[in-house]
Structure 1
């Protein structure tokens, strides 16, 4: 009988490889960014941990033996979910590995905008000493977290250290610790007028695509800040730019955009009330460790025991 095959199409430190081998010592394990390592074995792979999607056509072919696909990222919106469902492939995501770095980025953006740190950095470059009319505080304000998953929960927890009132929006409406009031997504426009900060942490799905546009920005306070670390396509970017230019909202901290890298001719680069980061909020020194040790290996142990992986299994109906 031929060996069962696992492919991981990214580089891993030896310590993680050895931990995988302990679970499946008799498998053919192929790991690395170089396609030459695993290219001729793609259709033989029963399990694939996928970082780059270029191999998707091959692993969806009729010859493929794929049973389980582990995404290296939290989002699976770029995956051909319909075809994967038709082939009865189990898909698991890396949801949860970003909770600490992204929540830290969220508060970096919120605090930076509130205390005008981005303005001071620009002034420092020109040796300008000016208070820039700074006056706002984050303490005791209201934050609306649109999408209360792992990232949203960690954000809510931190918000409580600032004495903030926390409003949450999630698909199920299920209540959570650190969230004062939870709403369903259809009540988004009821939440927005209450918020001093609106933070988007939603997955991109058919339901959430272009969820934010002119109507939502008009429903926000003129003094409110908008933070998006989720996906650029959740926002109608041109309508957000208009709202920022007209000062219909106070400012925005943006890590994601409709087109990435953000084009040089985007008006966002030159807006004084915007802080831009290059889709870097999820980067962390612990990324590999969390994907492999917290998600993949526990699921792998279940899989080899003929049980369905349970951590971060993608619901095809929801798209995440």
Structure 2
């Protein structure tokens, strides 16, 4: 097999680097945190580039004359310079699938936290109050609407069904999907908003999904509904979300992603009682990079001639 030069702007743990080198002893691996400094000259000569997908420009693509494959170690690829990549015919893959377990666990954790009022009980504990009058709810029998019924959405739905929840999914065509009791297309996704107790978005950032969720949609939701966004922050304009929360169109918003990240210290969302913010960590796990490099290793075997198909190849014209 022909040896290839692989540059990574991700610096994985030493043991993971060694494992990859053992799997591909003939290839040259250069790992670095970031793409600045001396590593940039190595990148220009590389055939394969490993990245989180946020550090490349069209100018970089133009300079990297030997580049044939970009392996993005995250699901999001929206920050790549697609026009330059497409002009060169460079293959792009992502790490779709590595997030589904941590993100599903994160989502169920928030649902349980909300239904069982754990925050309220912690407040009572601080005041030494034995308050048995706080009303709690069950997830059993509740309805969850999941916008984006792909790998992550399906994993969330699977866990929701284990809790006895009714699962409704939305995908491009409305085709049936495992672990969902009902399915709707992206054109009819507004219909189930009225019946959902929990609305979870795992949608990517696309032209069709940007600001897709508007004030009128929050008004369709139950006043007791909970909105959880673990997809992309540009699904809803921040001002629209704030207004919906101020007018109590819904009960609570749990936000792991926002239009502006990081959120400024003086932003009003920080102090709203019906908002909970986490810093884009729903997919984080110590097992994240090992899973991502499993996908990369599979794809590198195929790239170097082993029979089979590469996983998670991005359609450059559709950008997902």
SS in 1 for 2:108: helix
1:52 Cα deviation (Å)? 6.2
Range that drifts further, 158-167 or 9-18: 9-18
1:67 and 1:307, CA in 2 relative to 1: closer, same or farther beyond 3 A?
A: farther
Aligned to 1:33: 33
1:306 Cα deviation (Å)? 7.3
1:213 Cα deviation (Å)? 1.4
1:227 and 1:100 map into 2 onto residues whose CA distance is: 16
1:174 and 1:37 map into 2 onto residues whose CA distance is: 49
Task: Please give the TM-score of this superposition, normalised by the length of structure 1.
Answer: 0.92
SS in 2 for 1:226: strand
1:307 and 1:63, CA in 2 relative to 1: closer, same or farther beyond 3 A?
A: farther
Q: Deviations over 1:251-282 (max 9, x none)?
A: 11111111112222222222222222111111
In structure 2, runs of 5+ residues without a counterpart are none
1:248 and 1:44, CA in 2 relative to 1: closer, same or farther beyond 3 A?
A: same
Aligned to 1:195: 196
2:6 and 2:225 map into 1 onto residues whose CA distance is: 48
In structure 1, runs of 5+ residues without a counterpart are none
SS in 2 for 1:61: helix
Tell me how many residue pairs correspond in the alignment.
Answer: 318
1:120 and 1:274, CA in 2 relative to 1: closer, same or farther beyond 3 A?
A: farther
Structure 2 contact 53–80 (Cα < 8 Å) conserved: no
Structure 2 contact 78–319 (Cα < 8 Å) conserved: yes
Report matched runs for 1:148-167 at 5 Å. 148-167=149-168
1:19 Cα deviation (Å)? 3.5
Aligned to 1:318: 318
Structure 2 contact 53–72 (Cα < 8 Å) conserved: no
1:190 and 1:42 map into 2 onto residues whose CA distance is: 49
Aligned to 1:223: 224
Range that drifts further, 240-249 or 11-20: 11-20
1:131 and 1:263 map into 2 onto residues whose CA distance is: 38
1:247 and 1:214, CA in 2 relative to 1: closer, same or farther beyond 3 A?
A: same
Q: Deviations over 1:137-163 (max 9, x none)?
A: 211111101001111011010011111
1:57 Cα deviation (Å)? 4.6
Structure 1 contact 59–66 (Cα < 8 Å) conserved: no
Aligned-CA RMSD value = 2.2
Q: Deviations over 1:118-142 (max 9, x none)?
A: 2333444454554574232211111
Report matched runs for 1:219-298 at 5 Å. 219-293=220-294, 295-298=295-298
Aligned to 1:206: 207
2:318 and 2:12 map into 1 onto residues whose CA distance is: 31
SS in 2 for 1:70: strand
Range that drifts further, 195-204 or 167-176: 167-176
Aligned to 2:97: 96
1:36 Cα deviation (Å)? 4.9
Structure 2 contact 303–310 (Cα < 8 Å) conserved: no
Range that drifts further, 116-125 or 270-279: 116-125
SS in 1 for 2:188: helix
Aligned to 2:6: 6
Range that drifts further, 156-165 or 271-280: 271-280
Aligned to 1:174: 175
1:59 and 1:65 map into 2 onto residues whose CA distance is: 12
Aligned to 2:116: 115
1:242 and 1:63, CA in 2 relative to 1: closer, same or farther beyond 3 A?
A: closer
Task: Please give the TM-score of this superposition, normalised by the length of structure 2.
Answer: 0.92
